[in-house]
């Protein structure tokens, strides 16, 4: 039973791997049939090792892995935040503005909510509208509280619920390469984002 | 002595450096060009910074250009000895208190590697007062045990600066010894001198009283009350006395880099029998000439320079004098060489300056009966051992390791006619102190010994040790004898 | 949503052999307390929960990596553990030190997964701090000088990690070694925003971190806690340390 399940997994994940894969490769991998097989295309340091499921602002369920192949600029915020988050959103917008036209399609800007209770898909959609971020390059995600805490742990983002409405949190924008490996982090509000922009441009095709 | 060779070498080196400077003045773009702003000084080449443990300092920068300087500092939490028989867990930059001395020049770009040893329990960081930037580097260097943080900065302002740990609770990290000095020399370096040393004062707070044996824990309440048990130079009592004294020769100019780690107390730094020819006030550019005692704030430093004209032992103190004689803030500079009658004729007794004159203030000993049960010294061997511990904790600073005393200042206890003549008088002196002129082995002394707050058993132990060492008459002093004198 | 977390649990259990071991747990009656660090002056309610009587030992952890090879030293993904992971183990199945000493040099991810494989979880920081207020006789000994001195003293004592579990006192709830052997991971250790610039951390600059958590260090008893929070603030989830272990907790099932 378990083996069969795994088989399906492997098959599914192999579809996602680039088309260069010959049938021979597929057989070889299937023969190995270890859990390693699913991770074959990702390194030890990739966030795609995290087995978490997320909901987007459109109410779609996605796995993190589906973002593979794009450069990610990612920040953790919550929508009812009055102080730091608007500035973080502005920082993300500023970064986006500085990415040349020919590279922009290779970049995904991701906001991950640290307040999944409040930040329902409906609320995230509203937030995207308010901030004029309806384009596909802006992605808003929410997960379970546990997955969110784990995800934050990977990014070294610390946050704490201070009151029903307020969280205290680190202000960190992270850049991941196409394989999901952390390439750059900037910490602070309204900081000079030159290096972050450069990191994205260098990575994007 | 070594210093002669050193001096010769040094002079040669200076000639050499001068020659090189003359030859290369047209090639060397740095020395010919004056930069308005230290930020613009270019760096070339990398160099691993030489780090030294106190009381020593690294080689002067001299005429070298600004460089990229790699500083590699390891934090160690380790047990050390505060004074004989008293153990303490020190937290250190580089294994010593104060931490390693860092020597740089204006325009250097410092790449700082801060390593927190895996055996350590706590996270730490470093705030260097020489840094222009948030927290002095504290935030960038916050490092968990078993990790390393690297950050870099450019030194822009010449001067002598304190560095210290700034991890919560900050006071505790500093109180456990996490401080040191970083020197930023001006373009072309400081004037060469014959001897340079590194001294840093700190105050310590322990659960037990001064000299109480065993491993002593840090006492937070005493630290908050600023009620120090130990005030010491270079991390422990006796770090700069006896065999550990710093040295110089007659005619030499001595430069001391003096810091004060605190956490609480301000130092009134003074060298008994010397005047500072020059003090770089607070470690900055302002030079004051002919200073007797200079004030060094907690978290501050000063550079003092003086020429030693006559031989002898010069005593370094925090002139808040009880700290010097009762808490450990006492060091020594031993100067060898020819006497100079013109400067110091020797008939004038070198007295210790004491504001109250000859009045002796004894410590109130209330609740004597409620004192903690002490370890009773049973056998003669134990009495000797405990007596030696106590001697090394409270007497050694003045009377020295072998009871030889200090000429013109503190009388000898070795082969001492004065001591052997009258045991009750000796007990009385330990209990109640002594001042005024006395003659010991034919030499006159006129200084002050303060009353020692010791139990009868302690007095008996320490005197038994003294009487049975260094050629004295082997009297065995008992607590009963002490009690009899006390109740006179 | 629900459906997905069930699926996720299935997925997890595929990669995790459930096996309960070292099953002794003690019940901590809940209550309300004022933590050192958090919303200013706000008390926290801790629901009753179960907590392991001892920290997880070397022997416990060896069994775990044998059943779950992906947590072996040579297999572990670097996203989940840095180089110091089990650094004192001579190979995948050989630890150094005592069998019943607390396991150390494990990352937060590893500790979290261990507890999940036992059908448990890591205690929250509030739960841990709440249980750790107790001395032998009372649930809140924070104002007792001797108790605080005991904690501060062990923080200053080197190499306490290689002592058998149970070698310190049994607290009011019947739990051992919360103080005296190793620091311990908590589920939400990364709620601490101590930047390392502690002098700035007390500055309540709300704009900096939104709702600002505050540290109230008004009295002595907080210094021991202060050091724990500073330690947590210095850690990342991949990190591990020789003086850091863990134990598990569990909800009380009605």
Please answer yes or no on whether B167 and C198 come within 8 Å at the CB atom.
yes
With beta carbons under 8 A apart, name residues in chain A contacting C239: none
**pLDDT over 90 percentage in chain A:** 50
CA distance C50 to C33: 18
With beta carbons under 8 A apart, name residues in chain C contacting A3: none
Q: Does domain C21-251 fall into CATH 3.90.1580.10?
A: yes
Quick one: pLDDT at residue C34?
Answer: 83
Do B175 and B317 meet the contact criterion of CB atoms below 8 Å apart?
A: no
Residues 142-201 of C with CB under 8 A from A: 187-188, 190-193
| Shortest CA gap A58–chain C (Å) | 14
The predicted-structure confidence for C167-208, as pLDDT tens digits, reads as follows: 999 999 999 999 999 999 999 998 877 655 555 554 444 445
**Contacting partners of chain B (3+ CB pairs under 8 A):** C
Residue linked to tokens 């920068």: B61
Quick one: pLDDT at residue B410?
Answer: 79
Asked whether the whole model's pTM tops 0.85, one would answer no
Q: Tokens for C198?
A: 């502690």
Please answer yes or no on whether C210 and A81 come within 8 Å at the CB atom.
yes
The predicted-structure confidence for B69-120, as pLDDT tens digits, reads as follows: 999 999 999 999 999 889 999 999 999 999 999 999 999 999 999 999 999 9
Residue linked to tokens 């709830």: C173
Please answer yes or no on whether C4 and A61 come within 8 Å at the CB atom.
yes
Quick one: pLDDT at residue B18?
Answer: 43
The predicted-structure confidence for B266-310, as pLDDT tens digits, reads as follows: 999 999 999 999 999 999 999 999 999 999 999 999 999 999 999
With beta carbons under 8 A apart, name residues in chain B contacting C200: 134-135, 139
Residue B195: half-sphere exposure toward Cβ, Cα within 13 Å: 22
In this complex, the residue of A81, A149, A171 whose CB is nearest that of residue C188 is A149
The predicted-structure confidence for B452-473, as pLDDT tens digits, reads as follows: 778 899 999 999 999 999 999 9
In this complex, the residue of A46, A49, A84 whose CB is nearest that of residue C209 is A84
Please answer yes or no on whether C210 and A168 come within 8 Å at the CB atom.
yes
The dihedral through the CA atoms of A91, A94, A98, A104 has a sign that is positive
The predicted-structure confidence for C11-48, as pLDDT tens digits, reads as follows: 444 456 656 555 699 999 999 988 877 666 678 899 99
CA distance C243 to C154: 11
Nearest residue to B147 via CA among B120, B168, B171, B180 = B120
| Shortest CA gap A107–chain C (Å) | 23
Please answer yes or no on whether C234 and B207 come within 8 Å at the CB atom.
no
CA distance B287 to B279: 5
Closest-CA residue of chain C to A6: C14
What proportions of chain C, in percent to the nearest 5, are helix, strand and coil?
30, 15, 55
Q: Tokens for B427?
A: 């007990």
Please answer yes or no on whether C197 and B139 come within 8 Å at the CB atom.
yes
Q: Any residues with CB less than 8 A from the CB of C15 and at least 6 apart, and which?
A: A35, C68, C70
Task: Output phi, psi for B21, to 5 deg.
Answer: -60, -40
Residues 214-253 of C with CB under 8 A from B: 215, 217, 220, 223, 226-227, 229-231, 233-236, 239-243
* A186 beta partners: A173
| Shortest CA gap C132–chain B (Å) | 18
The predicted-structure confidence for B20-78, as pLDDT tens digits, reads as follows: 444 444 444 444 467 888 899 999 899 999 999 999 999 999 999 999 999 999 999 99
| Shortest CA gap C230–chain B (Å) | 6
CA distance B430 to B441: 19
- CA C217 to chain CA mean position, Å: 22
Q: Does C83 touch chain B (CB under 8 A)?
A: no
Q: β-pairing, C49-52 with C249-251? A: antiparallel
Please answer yes or no on whether C79 and A170 come within 8 Å at the CB atom.
no
Closest-CA residue of chain A to C7: A53
Torsion, Cα C195 C196 C197 C202, to 10 degrees, reads: 60
User: Is residue B165 part of an annotated ligand binding site?
Assistant: yes
Question: How many C-beta neighbours within 10 Å does residue C154 have?
Answer: 17
Structural domain spans, chain C: 21-251
With beta carbons under 8 A apart, name residues in chain C contacting A52: 8
Residue A98 has pLDDT above 50, yes or no: yes
CA distance C252 to C254: 6
């Amino acid at each position: 039973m378990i083996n069969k399940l795994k088989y399906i997994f492997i098959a599914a994940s192999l579809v996602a791997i680039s088309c260069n894969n010959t049938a021979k490769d597929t057989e070889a991998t299937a023969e190995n049939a270890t859990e390693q097989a699913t991770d074959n295309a990702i390194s030890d340091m990739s966030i795609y090792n995290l087995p978490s499921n997320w909901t987007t602002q459109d109410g779609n369920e996605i796995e993190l892995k589906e973002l593979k192949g794009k450069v990610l600029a990612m920040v953790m915020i919550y929508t009812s935040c009055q102080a730091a988050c608007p500035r973080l959103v502005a920082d993300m917008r500023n970064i986006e503005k500085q990415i040349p036209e020919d590279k922009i399609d290779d970049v995904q800007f991701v906001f991950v909510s640290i307040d999944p209770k409040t930040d329902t898909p409906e609320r995230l959609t509203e937030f995207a509208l308010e901030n004029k971020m309806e384009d596909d390059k802006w992605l808003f995600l929410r997960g379970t509280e546990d997955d969110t805490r784990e995800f934050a742990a990977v990014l070294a983002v610390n946050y704490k619920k201070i009151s029903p409405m307020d969280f205290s949190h680190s202000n960190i924008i992270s850049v991941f390469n196409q394989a999901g490996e952390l390439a750059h982090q900037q910490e602070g509000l309204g900081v000079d984002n030159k290096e972050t922009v450069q990191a994205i441009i260098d990575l994007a095709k | 002595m070594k210093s002669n060779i050193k001096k010769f070498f040094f002079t040669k080196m200076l000639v050499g450096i001068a020659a090189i400077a003359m030859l290369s003045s047209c090639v060397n773009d740095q020395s010919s060009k004056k930069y308005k702003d230290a930020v613009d000084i270019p760096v070339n080449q990398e160099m691993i910074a030489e780090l030294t443990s106190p009381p020593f300092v690294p080689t002067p920068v001299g005429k070298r250009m600004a460089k990229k300087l790699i500083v590699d500092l390891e934090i160690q939490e380790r047990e050390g000895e505060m004074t004989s028989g008293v153990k303490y867990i020190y937290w250190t930059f580089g294994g010593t208190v104060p931490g390693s001395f860092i020597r740089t020049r204006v325009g250097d770009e410092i790449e700082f590697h801060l390593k927190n040893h895996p055996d350590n329990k706590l996270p730490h960081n470093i705030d260097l007062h020489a840094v222009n930037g948030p927290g002095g580097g504290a935030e960038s260097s916050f490092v968990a045990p078993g990790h390393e943080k690297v950050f870099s900065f450019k030194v822009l302002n010449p001067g002598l600066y304190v560095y210290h740990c700034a991890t919560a609770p900050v006071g505790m990290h500093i109180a456990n010894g996490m401080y040191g000095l970083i020197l930023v020399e001006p373009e072309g370096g400081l004037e060469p001198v014959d001897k340079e040393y590194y001294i840093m004062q700190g105050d310590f707070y322990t659960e037990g009283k001064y000299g109480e044996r065993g491993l002593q824990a840090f006492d937070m309440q005493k630290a908050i009350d600023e009620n120090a048990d130990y005030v010491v130079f270079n991390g422990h009592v006796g770090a700069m006395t006896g065999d550990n004294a710093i040295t110089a020769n007659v005619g030499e100019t001595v430069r001391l880099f003096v810091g004060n780690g605190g956490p609480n107390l301000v130092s009134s730094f003074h060298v008994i029998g010397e005047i500072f020819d020059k003090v770089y006030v607070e470690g900055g550019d302002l030079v004051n000439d002919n200073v007797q005692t200079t004030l060094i704030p907690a978290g501050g430093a000063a550079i003092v320079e003086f020429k030693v004209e006559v031989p002898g032992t010069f005593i370094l103190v925090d002139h808040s004098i009880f700290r010097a004689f009762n808490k450990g803030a006492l060091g020594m500079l031993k100067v060898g060489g020819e006497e100079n009658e013109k400067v110091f004729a020797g008939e004038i007794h070198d007295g210790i300056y004491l504001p109250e004159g000859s009045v002796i203030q004894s410590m109130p000993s209330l609740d004597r009966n409620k004192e903690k049960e002490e370890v009773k010294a049973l056998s003669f061997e134990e009495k000797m051992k405990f007596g030696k511990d106590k001697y090394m904790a409270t007497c050694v600073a003045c009377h020295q390791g072998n009871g030889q005393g200090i000429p013109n200042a503190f009388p000898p206890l070795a082969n001492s006619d004065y001591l052997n003549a009258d045991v009750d008088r000796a007990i009385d002196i330990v209990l109640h102190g002594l001042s005024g002129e006395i003659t010991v082995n034919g030499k006159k002394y006129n200084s002050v010994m303060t009353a020692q707050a010791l139990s009868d058993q302690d007095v008996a132990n320490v005197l038994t040790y003294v009487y049975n060492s260094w050629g004295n008459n082997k009297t065995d002093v008992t607590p009963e004898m002490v009690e009899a004198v006390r109740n006179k | 949503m629900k459906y997905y977390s069930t699926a996720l649990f299935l997925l997890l259990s595929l990669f995790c052999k459930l096996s309960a071991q070292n099953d002794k747990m003690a019940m901590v009656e809940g209550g309300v307390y004022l933590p050192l660090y958090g919303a200013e002056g706000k008390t926290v309610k801790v629901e009753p929960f179960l907590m392991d009587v001892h920290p997880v030992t070397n022997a416990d952890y060896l069994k775990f990596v044998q059943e779950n090879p992906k947590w072996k030293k040579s297999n572990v993904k670097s996203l989940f553990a840095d180089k110091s992971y089990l650094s004192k183990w001579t190979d995948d199945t050989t630890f150094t030190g005592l069998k019943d000493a607390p396991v150390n040099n494990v990352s937060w991810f590893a500790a979290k997964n261990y507890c999940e494989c036992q059908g448990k979880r890591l205690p929250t920081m509030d739960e841990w701090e709440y249980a750790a207020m107790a001395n032998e006789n009372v649930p809140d000994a924070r104002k007792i000088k001797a108790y605080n001195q005991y904690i501060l003293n062990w923080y200053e004592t080197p190499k306490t990690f290689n002592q058998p579990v149970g070698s310190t006192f049994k607290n009011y709830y019947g739990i051992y070694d919360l103080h005296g052997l190793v620091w311990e991971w908590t589920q939400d250790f990364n709620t601490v925003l101590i930047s390392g610039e502690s002098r700035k951390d007390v500055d309540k600059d709300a704009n900096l971190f939104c709702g600002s958590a505050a540290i109230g260090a008004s009295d002595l008893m907080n210094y021991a806690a202060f050091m724990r929070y500073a330690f947590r603030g210095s850690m990342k989830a991949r990190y591990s340390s020789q003086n850091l272990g863990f134990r598990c907790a569990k909800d009380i099932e009605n």
